[in-house]
Every structure is written in structure tokens, then in C-alpha cells.
Amino acid sequence: MFSVFADSVLIGIGINMLLALGLYFTLATGQFSVGHGGFMAIGAYAASILTVNFAWPLVPAVLCGGVAAFAIGVLIGLPVLRFSHLYLAMATFGFGEIVRAAFSVVDYVGGVGGMRGMMGTTAPIVLGLVLAAVAFSWLHSRSRWGLACDAIRQDEDAAAAMGIDVRLNKVLAFGVGAAITGVGGGLYAHHFYFIEPTTFGLHMSVAIILFVIFGGIETFWGAMLGAAVLSLLPDLFRFLKDWYLFMYGLLFVLLMIFRPQGMLDRAALRALRKKLWR
């Protein structure tokens, strides 16, 4: 039997893993998004409206939040994914700010005062959704679609020359990433019982980016590892008090110097598999 604190930590790790997987799918085709906090907000508010105002069960509400985020992700992706690199980052950042500002002026969801009244989630629910996302990610990595996404990430022009529909795959990956992020947002809202627009600002999008960069962008296992480690660090470094942020920043500097590919890349994953199967 887990303590209340341990249960809360496990739920937090699971939610962050979903957020990291959501961004991983976007990065899988070489797209850099700084607006995933916006998709998280869409999932959080959509799920909260269904549970608070319409008394929906938690899991269907959270899944509907993911569907809403997917729909918005596809609609946004169609025009935005024409950009690349810095311009795409700026466009997605603008989208995230638009979402945050929109929820701030809608009284139906509490406006700037935020929304409350959500029921709590549980570790088994979060674990079940994380396992479902992992299974989907594993199947994706071994599918033709996954290979197409990887080809686009490595060389977009070469992928197009091989007959891969670059735009379609980018939009689908962007939408799927938005959906998983939306599910994470719905669980976040029901874990903390309260959400407000400022929760999903730039700092949240940057935190999600750090999860994936820290763990590694080459494999979804790296994204999950990064989310797990960075979720635990605040508790592990708590004894440092005022020096916590210094150590946090130093850790990232050292990582970028010695392992710019992140903690877990494909080579490290292959080596780990060989050791485990000896």
C-alpha cells in the first residue's frame, strides 16, 4: 500500500511521461514546438468541463480532452507546419499564448480566476493510460508510419523523394502528439483539483521540452526516462534549498557537454538490450 505522498509522486511522474511522449511525437518528424502547454490546456479544460459541468466519468472525459486536442492540433498543424525551425517555434509559441489568453477571458471556465471542482484521479488510472501510450509508441516505432516519420526527421527532402507524403505525416504526428499531451492535461487538472490559464504558459511548454531533451529525442523511452528523472529531482534536491536551481541548471549544462543526445539514445538502448538478454 503506497502512502499518499508516494501515490502523488507516481501520479505526477505518469502525467509528465504522457506530456513528454506528446512532444516526442512532434519531434519525431523534426518539428520543434514551443506550444504544447496550449494543447495541455485544451485537454485540461475540456476534461474538466465534462466532469464538473456534465458529471462525466473521469476516463471518458480525459480521452475526450485528448480528442479535442487532436482536432485542434490537426487544424493548427495544417497551416503552421509549412514553417520550419525558428519560424515553427515562434508560430507554436504564439498558438500557446493564444490558448492561454482565450481561456483567461471565458467566464464559463472561470476566466483568470481558474476552474475548480474536479474529482481526483488515481494511480491505476494514470498507469493504465501511460501503458496504453507506451504500447502505442512501441507499435509506432515498429510501423511503416514510424519509419516514415524517422526518415522525415533525418532528411525531409530525401523522404519526399522516396514517395513519403511529408506534410500528411507531419500533421498526423503533430495531432497525435497534441492528443497525448491533452490526455496528460486532463489528468493534471484532476490531480491538482484546480487549473488556471497561467498554469499552461511558456514555462509549462519549456518544462515539457526539457523532459524530452534530457531523456533523448531519438526514442520514446528516452522521453519517458527524462520525464521520470526530472519529476523526481525536486524531491531529491530538496535538501539543497536555495541551491536547488543552481544544481538543476548545472545538471543540464553537464548533460549538454557530455551527452548532447540525451540520457538514452538508440545506441545506448541497443547496448542495454544486449546486456539484458545475455
**The C-alpha cell of 254 is what?**
553537464
- Write down the pLDDT at residue 188: 97
Question: What number is the average pLDDT over the span 171-199?
Answer: 96
Label each residue of 25-75 as H, E or C.
HHHCCCCCCCCHHHHHHHHHHHHHHHHHHCCCCHHHHHHHHHHHHHHHHHH
112-140 b/e with 16+ CB inside 10 Å = b? eeebeebeebebebbeebbeebbeebeeb
Q: By three-state DSSP, how is residue 116 classified?
A: strand
Query: What pLDDT digit, counting tens, does each position of 215-258 carry?
Result: 998 899 999 999 999 998 877 777 766 776 777 788 888 888 88
pLDDT at 1 > cutoff 50: no
Q: Could you say which DSSP state residue 106 is in?
A: -
18 with 180: CB under 8 angstroms?
yes
Q: CA 197 to CA 182: how far, in whole Å? A: 15
Question: What number is the average pLDDT over the span 49-56?
Answer: 96
Q: Work out the mean pLDDT of the chain and round it to a whole number.
A: 91
- The packing angle between helices 36-48 and 202-215, to 10°, is 110
Query: What pLDDT digit, counting tens, does each position of 143-183 carry?
Result: 999 999 999 999 999 999 999 999 999 999 999 999 999 99
pLDDT at 276 > cutoff 80: no
pLDDT at 86 > cutoff 90: no
**The C-alpha cell of 179 is what?**
492528443
Q: CA 232 to CA 230: how far, in whole Å? A: 5
61 with 47: CB under 8 angstroms?
yes
247-266 b/e with 16+ CB inside 10 Å = b? eeeeeeeebeeeeeebbbbe
pTM of the model: 0.94
